[in-house]
Structure 1
Amino acid sequence: MAKVRLERITRQFKEAVAIADITFEVPDGEFWVMVGPSGCGKSTILRTIAGLESATSGNLYIGDRLANQVPARQRDVAMVFQNYALYPHMSVAENLAFGLKMRKADSQTIQERVESVARSLDIAHLLDRKPKQLSGGQQQRVALGRAIARKPQVFLLDEPLSNLDAQLRDDTRAELKQLHQCLGITTIYVTHDQVEAMTLADQIVVLKQGRIQQIGAPQAIYARPTNRMVATFLGNPPMNILSATFEDGAFHLADQSFTCPSAITAHLPLSPGQSVELGIRPEHLQLVSASEDQDFNVEVSVVEPLGREILIRAVLPTQPTSSAAQAINLQVSPEIRVRPGDRLSLQIDFAQLFIFDPATGDRLYPTS
């Protein structure tokens, strides 16, 4: 096993910068997940660690060894791709054994490793089959098994579950977590699925346009996103972002206003007329029976029953001459009866309110 350290890694393709100044260290045995929208540089970082891409600048260490000039085959990392990349003419057993044969392991070691990995992944009954005879989930297990059989220092997983259906993806995700707990191999996992990131990761690296936005434990990032992008990327449904103006001690949004708590103004001096973006997660909005100074009204657009809760998609009603209506989501108990067109009064949990700079997206409040 080995730690992985990236020091100011940049990868540039002619005029395009794919990743810029990437710095982080994955401790030995931890499971880190990189998330972000398509094109943010996740796979480029993974391929750079694997040796399939060369960094334009910066240093990469695997263990205590500088790996910049180390060929991919000598880095002792195993990479699992989105498309599985199994050899179609080989049986499952031969696919599992391929990496070991390339390393010239003896036949007894190969047989023991193949059998052990097959049992752990519940594919022992498939060893004689060819990939075309397997389901997508079974093929994914074989691809994982081939990497595990090598016993590498580092696992690199590039969206390995994206081709699976929802139920199989959930099951395989749980199996992956159990495998990591058993094997303890340093793992770096790329995904755009925030549920995978939240459930699998010891630490999450959030990326946007080739730059790191935030690194932290899943719950810490969810509770204290550093900017608007992180706030809206993690969470399903995402955090509500509402454009507002501060005036006369109150936040004005659409054609409504509510008093700004003194706890906020004490920590964040706001200028009269200042534009801000208010961030509040759907679970931190509460239905109230009557509108008060701290409440605001919304009009229900769509009601989505989800079993244990109901997701309501609503808008802040505006006058015909006003700007476009702002959308807002909230979650309520399944016992509550709501229909499209209903008007609701909402109360914000101000302890969970975020304020962002509309120009930069940076978090202004909470200040720490």
Structure 2
Amino acid sequence: MARVELDGITRRFEQSVAIADITFEVPDGEFWVLVGPSGCGKSTILRTIAGLESATSGNLYIGDRLVNQVPARQRDVAMVFQNYALYPHMTVAENIAFGLKMRNADAKTQRERVETMARILDISHLLDRKPRQLSGGQQQRVALGRAIARQPQVFLLDEPLSNLDAQLRDGTRSELKQLHQQMGITTIYVTHDQVEAMTLADQIVILERGKIQQIGDPQSIYAQPANRMVATFLGNPPTNILPVTYRGEAFHIQGQRIPCPLTLRSLHDGQQFDLGIRPEQMRVSEDAHLITQVSLVEPLGREILVRVELLGERSQPTTLNVQVSPNVRLAPGDRLPLALDLNQLFLFDPMTGQRVHPN
């Protein structure tokens, strides 16, 4: 096992910059997740670590070894792709053993590693089958087993669960976390799915347009997003953003008034902010801060997600997402008064998007 360090990694193409000045260090044995919208550069980072892409500038270390000029086959990393890339003419056992065979491992070592992987991944009964005889989840396990069997220093996964249905994805995600706890291999995982990021990661790296927006453990990032992008990306449903103006110890929007917490009353009248509030930090109450109108109701079983529009004059309606109890009966057009948890407000600079409160 080994640490992975990226120091100012940049990857330029002719007309664009895929990633810019990427710097972070994954300690030995930790599970890090790279997450962000499509095109943010997360797969480019993973491919650069694997040696499938070359950095334009910066240094990349695996363990204490600088690997900028080291070819992929000599970096001692294993990678699992979205499409699994199993050999169709080989059995499950042969697929798992393939990497060991290419490294001239003896037959006994191959057999023992295959049996160990099959037992851990619960695919011992599938060892004689071909990939076409397997379900998507079973193929994904075989791909994981093949990658891990040769005991690499670093394990790289590029959206390995995205081809699975929702139920199977949830179960496989839990198995993957347990597998990491057993094996302790330094792991870097790419996904656009924030649920995967939150549940799997020791640390999350959030990216947008090739740049790091924030690095931290899941709960810290959720509680204190560095900017508006992070606040709206991490969390489902996303953080509500309201363009407000501070005046008279309150935030004003569309003729409505949100009281300002005591900790924020040093602001200056006329200042404008993007106010952030998460859907679960709002509640239905006649003692309301905002009066809204229901536009969409989405029952989710243990809760109801309600989309509402803020009442008041505005050419472009302000839309919010609210989570309410399943006992609340609502229909489009209903009036819905909402109280906000004033201690859970975020304030962002409307120009830069950076968080200004809490600071």
Normalising by structure 1, we get a TM-score of 0.96
SS of the aligned residue for 1:167 comes to helix
Q: Which amino acid aligns with 1:340?
A: P
Deviations 1:170-215, CA, capped at 9 Å, x for gaps: 0000000000000000000000000000000000000000000000
The C-alpha deviation readout for 1:199-247, integer Å capped at 9, x for no partner, is 0000000000000000000000000000000000000000000111122
Q: Does 1:274 align with 2:271?
A: yes
* One-letter amino acid of the structure 1 residue matched with residue 186 of structure 2: T
Deviations 1:55-100 (A, max 9, x none): 1111000001111111100100000000101111111111101100
Q: Secondary structure at the match of 2:84?
A: coil
Tell me if 1:19 matches 2:16: no
**Where do residues 307-322 of structure 1 align in structure 2 (5 Å cutoff)?**
307-319=301-313, 322=314
Partner deviation per Cα, 1:299-355 (whole Å, 9 max, x = no partner): 111111111111111010123xx3211001111111122222111211111111001
Instruction: Give unpaired runs (5+ residues) of structure 1.
Output: none
Does 1:260 find its partner at 2:250?
no
1:305 paired to 2:299 = yes
What residue is the counterpart of 1:6 in the other structure? Answer: 6
Deviations 1:137-183 (A, max 9, x none): 11101100000111001000000000000000000000000000000
Aligned partner of 1:350 in structure 2 is 342
Pairing of 1:179-328 with structure 2 (within 5 A): 179-266=179-266, 269-270=267-268, 272-291=269-288, 295-319=289-313, 322-328=314-320
Report the 3-state secondary structure (helix = DSSP H, G, I; strand = E; otherwise coil) of the residue aligned with 1:61.
strand
Between 300-309 and 36-45, the greater mean CA deviation after superposition: 300-309
SS in 2 for 1:345: strand
Aligned residues: 359
RMSD: 1.0
C-alpha deviation, 1:256, in angstroms: 1.3
Residue identity opposite 1:277 in structure 2: D
Match of 1:94 in 2: 94
How far apart are the structure 2 equivalents of 1:46 and 1:187?
Answer: 11
Q: Which residue matches 1:364? A: 356
Identity of aligned residues (%): 72
Equivalent position SS for 2:353: coil
- Determine if contact 1:254/1:325 at 8 Å carries over to the other structure: no
Offset from partner CA, 1:250-287 (integer Å, 9 cap, x none) = 21112212332231123xx33x2222111000010121
Q: SS where residue 301 of structure 1 aligns?
A: strand
* Runs of 5+ consecutive residues of structure 2 not aligned to the other structure: none
> What is the deviation of 1:290?
3.8
SS at match of 1:151: coil
Deviates more, 1:147-156 or 1:344-353: 344-353
Distance 1:210 1:66 in 2: 23
Structure 2 CA distance for aligned equivalents of residues 286 and 123 of structure 1? 47
Assess if the C-alpha contact under 8 Å between 1:37 and 1:192 holds in 2: yes
Q: How does 1:153-192 map to 2 (within 5 A)?
A: 153-192=153-192
What is aligned with 1:41? 41
- In the TM superposition, what whole-angstrom CA distance separates every residue of 1:101-142 from its partner, at most 9, and x where no partner exists? 100000000011011101111111111111111111111011
Task: Determine the C-alpha separation between the residues in 1 that align with 2:326 and 2:345.
Answer: 25
Whole-angstrom distance in 2 between the partners of 1:231 and 1:290? 27
Structure 1 stretch 331-340 or stretch 135-144: which is displaced more?
Answer: 331-340
Q: Give the partner amino acid of 2:290.
A: F
2:352 is aligned with what amino acid? Answer: T
Moved over 6 A (4+): none
